[in-house]
């Protein structure tokens, strides 16, 4: 074999269920195809920067194709803002390249350490889903190495079924090797942010329903520990990129300057339980009190507004060796009451989370397995606790009952029997997938755990 391969223990960002795989450092499309064709019964799957929380980019006993081995921008059209990049290119690189030219990524998650391939495969969303939809909506075309080892050109107009099955397809339709993305024009690199402190969940949900349409970006941080009349108290931040004139009038000499910072990473020796209910309660109290009750037009950097967690490298180590999980669901607008009952149950149950985020989604796209659909989405990081499984199982049932679903890119524990109800177009996706991969070469720990294929 002409491709370097290393046996490695791989985990997702939550570090809960590491497994061993042969990681192939393929650089060219031919090398990617060689690994696909060499995959035995345990198969192969692509991996980006491992920011999926669970087991989606792991493949116990099989091959994993390392994304960052194939990174770099290959074409930029400054007139249209279209960028072509190898699939292992990170959103961080796209931002560093394009912000000085007056373009930002169309969608960014809470970390910029995510690859183009991972962004397509999970059809990621950001704080602007209600305005811009998810990542797949901004992909003009991509190339995929399929299960026959052939490179296919996919686009929403020429090959809609294959394109949309790959968007949100969790790496199970093939290996994305490059893609062309439509970037969003910006007048400056600063975001004009309005902050509102909401006394409880009802207030924040009302503010979001009444006002989100006036903003490009919106997100609420929720204190999940607060109880009684303060249950669900929140800090709501909404904004849009400031225009050039505003920033220049404020004294900026380079309105498109972009220079993110990084603090040192925590050592890998934190005991499990350091982030416990007491420490999270203290953090949440401080965080809530530090936020202004109401502030308008504050200019914030891209890093501060979109990626505050990236300032600390490998912050997932703070949860210790037991790790943590992320639970994220979406339910339709009509199930707003279910968001209330969930927050109430979590708050009463003693589950603690310092990262609980509420957003509103606009309509979903054509991808059968894409997560976002119109309604409310709540995402929580939760330290692993013995009693957590039963509680989340019950809450999953409520999500299904409300016509919602959980996010596969963040899952590590949902019961597989719930997946067809959560993703009712699963069989349609399987039919397209089977055509792209007739011999069943693409597998992951996630696909086996949830019986996706
Ligand atoms: C702090 C933090 C905040 C986050 N915030 C958000 C958020 O706001 N919104 C959101 O949507 N997500 C969010 N995420 C999740 C993250 O955006 C997704 O899991 C994303 O897919 C990770 O990309 P990655 O490059 O790390 O891919 P990985 O985690 O390595 O892989 C993710 C999936 O993509 C597939 N894949 C990767 N590369 C390829 C390829 N070349 N070809 C085919 N398949 C491939 C993998 O098989 C896997 O199924 C967050 C994650 C973290 C850690």
Tell how far the Cα of 232 is from the centroid of ligand 1, in angstroms.
28
Number of H helices, E strands in the chain: 14, 19
Q: 111: CA distance to ligand 1 center in Å?
A: 10
Q: Whose CA is nearest to atom 10 of ligand 1?
A: 124
Tell me the pLDDT band of 281, cut-offs 50, 70 and 90. confident
Cβ of 50 closer than 6 Å to ligand 1, yes or no, is yes
Q: Which pLDDT belongs to residue 272?
A: 58
User: Does residue 409 line the site of ligand 1, with CB under 6 A?
Assistant: yes
- Is the separation of the CB atoms in 90 and 115 below 8 Å? yes
Q: What is the mean pLDDT of residues 192-202?
A: 97
Which whole-number Å values give the CA distances from 219 to 10, 174, 254, 353, 410, in the listed order?
31, 33, 28, 16, 18
- Nearest ligand 1 atom, CA 176: 42
CA of 54 relative to ligand 1 center, distance in Å:
10
Q: What is the pLDDT of residues 299-314, one digit of tens each?
A: 999 999 999 888 877 7
Spatial contact of 175 and 152, defined as CB atoms under 8 Å apart:
no
168 lines ligand 1 (CB under 6 A): no
Whole-angstrom CA distances from 191 to 240, 243, 303, 325, 447 are 5, 9, 10, 30, 39
Does 362 sit in the ligand 1 pocket, CB within 6 Å?
Answer: no
| Cα of 328 from ligand 1 centre, angstroms | 14
**Which of ligand 1's atoms lies nearest the C-alpha of 309?**
1
Kindly give the distance from the C-alpha atom of residue 177 to the centroid of ligand 1, in angstroms, as a whole number. Answer: 15
User: Cα(34)–Cα(274) distance, rounded to whole angstroms?
Assistant: 45
Residue that the structure tokens 């309509």 belong to: 363
**Is 13's C-beta closer than 6 angstroms to any atom of ligand 1?**
yes
Helix axes 336-349 and 388-401, enclosed angle (nearest 10): 170
Q: Is the pLDDT of residue 323 over 90?
A: no
Name beta bridge partners: 240.
192
52 Cα–ligand 1 center, Å: 4
Both structure tokens of 193: 């942010």
The residue ranking higher by pLDDT, 381 or 352, is 381
How many angstroms separate the CA atoms of 287 and 284, rounded?
Answer: 5
- Helix pair angle (201-211, 336-349), 10° resolution: 150
How many A from CA of 240 to the centre of ligand 1? 24
Q: Is 404 in the pocket of ligand 1 (CB under 6 A)?
A: no
Share of the chain above pLDDT 70, in %: 96
Average pLDDT over the chain reads 93
Judge residue 162's burial from the number of C-beta atoms within 10 Å of its C-beta, 0-12 exposed, 13-18 middle, 19 or more buried: buried
125 touches ligand 1 (CB under 6 Å): yes
Measured distance CA(308)–CA(168) in Å, rounded = 25
- pLDDT confidence bin for 320, thresholds 50/70/90: confident
pLDDT, residue 404, reads 98
Return the H-helix or E-strand segment holding 246: helix 244-249
Mean pLDDT of all residues in 179-208: 97
pLDDT at 269 over 60: no
225 in contact with ligand 1, CB cutoff 6 A: no
**Residue 264 scores a pLDDT above 80:** no
Atom 52 of ligand 1, nearest CA residue: 51
* Residue scoring higher pLDDT (81 or 308): 81
pLDDT of residue 263: 59
Q: Which of 60, 109, 138, 177 is the pocket-test mutation for ligand 1 (most atoms within 8 Å of CB)?
A: 109
Question: CB under 8 Å to 153, separation ≥6 — which residues?
Answer: 141, 142, 143, 159
Taking residues 28-51, what's their average pLDDT? 97
Q: Which are the contacts of 83, defined by CB distance < 8 A and separation ≥ 6?
A: 73, 75, 76, 77, 94, 97, 98, 103, 180, 181, 183
Is 47 touching ligand 1 by the criterion CB < 6 Å?
A: yes
Percent share of the chain, pLDDT over 90: 81
Span 241-257, mean pLDDT?
A: 95
46 touches ligand 1 (CB under 6 Å):
yes
d(CA 13, CA 52): 6
Mean pLDDT value of segment 204-230:
95
Ligand 1 pocket mutation, candidates 13, 21, 31, 47, criterion most atoms within 8 A of CB: 47
Per residue in 324-365, pLDDT tens?
Answer: 788 999 999 999 999 999 988 888 887 777 789 999 999 999
What letter would DSSP give residue 68? T
């Amino acid at each position: 074999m002409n491709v370097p391969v290393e046996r490695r223990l791989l985990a997702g960002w939550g570090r809960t269920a590491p497994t061993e795989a042969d990681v192939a450092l393929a650089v060219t499309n031919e090398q990617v195809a060689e690994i696909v064709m060499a995959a035995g019964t345990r198969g192969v799957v692509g991996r980006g920067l491992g920011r999926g929380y669970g087991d989606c980019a792991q493949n116990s006993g099989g091959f994993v194709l390392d994304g960052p081995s194939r990174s770099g921008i290959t074409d930029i059209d400054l007139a249209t803002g279209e960028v072509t990049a190898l699939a292992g290119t990170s959103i961080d690189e796209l931002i560093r390249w394009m912000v000085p030219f007056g373009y930002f990524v169309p969608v960014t998650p809470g970390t910029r350490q995510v690859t183009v391939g991972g962004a397509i495969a999970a059809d990621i969303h950001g704080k602007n889903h209600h305005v811009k939809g998810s990542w797949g909506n901004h992909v003009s075309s991509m190339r995929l190495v399929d299960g026959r080892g052939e490179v296919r050109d996919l686009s929403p107009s020429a090959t809609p079924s294959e394109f949309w099955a790959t968007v949100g397809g969790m790496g199970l339709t093939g290996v994305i090797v490059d893609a062309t993305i439509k970037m969003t024009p910006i007048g400056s690199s600063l975001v004009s942010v309005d902050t509102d402190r909401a006394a409880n969940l009802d207030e924040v949900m009302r503010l979001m329903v009444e006002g989100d349409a006036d903003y490009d970006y919106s997100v609420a941080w929720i204190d999940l520990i607060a109880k009684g009349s303060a249950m669900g108290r929140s800090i709501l931040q909404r904004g849009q990129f400031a225009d050039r004139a505003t920033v220049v009038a404020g004294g900026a000499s380079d309105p498109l300057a972009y220079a993110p910072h990084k603090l040192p990473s925590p050592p890998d020796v934190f005991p499990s339980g350091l982030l416990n209910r007491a420490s999270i309660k203290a953090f949440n109290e401080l965080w809530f009190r530090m936020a202004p009750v109401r502030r308008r037009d504050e200019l914030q950097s891209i890093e501060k507004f979109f990626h505050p967690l990236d300032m600390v490298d490998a912050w997932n180590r703070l949860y210790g060796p037991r790790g943590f999980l992320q639970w994220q669901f979406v339910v339709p607008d009509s199930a707003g009451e279910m968001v209330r009952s969930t927050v109430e149950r979590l708050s009463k149950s003693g589950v603690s989370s310092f990262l609980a985020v509420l957003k509103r989604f606009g309509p979903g796209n054509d991808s059968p397995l894409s997560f976002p659909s119109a309604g409310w989405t709540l995402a929580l990081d939760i330290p692993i606790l013995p009693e957590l499984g039963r509680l989340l199982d019950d809450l999953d049932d409520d999500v299904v009952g409300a016509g919602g679903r959980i996010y596969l890119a963040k899952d590590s524990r949902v019961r597989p029997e719930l997946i067809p109800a959560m993703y009712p177009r699963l069989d349609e996706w399987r039919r397209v997938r089977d055509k792209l991969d007739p011999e069943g070469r693409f597998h992951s720990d996630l696909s086996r755990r949830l019986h996706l294929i």
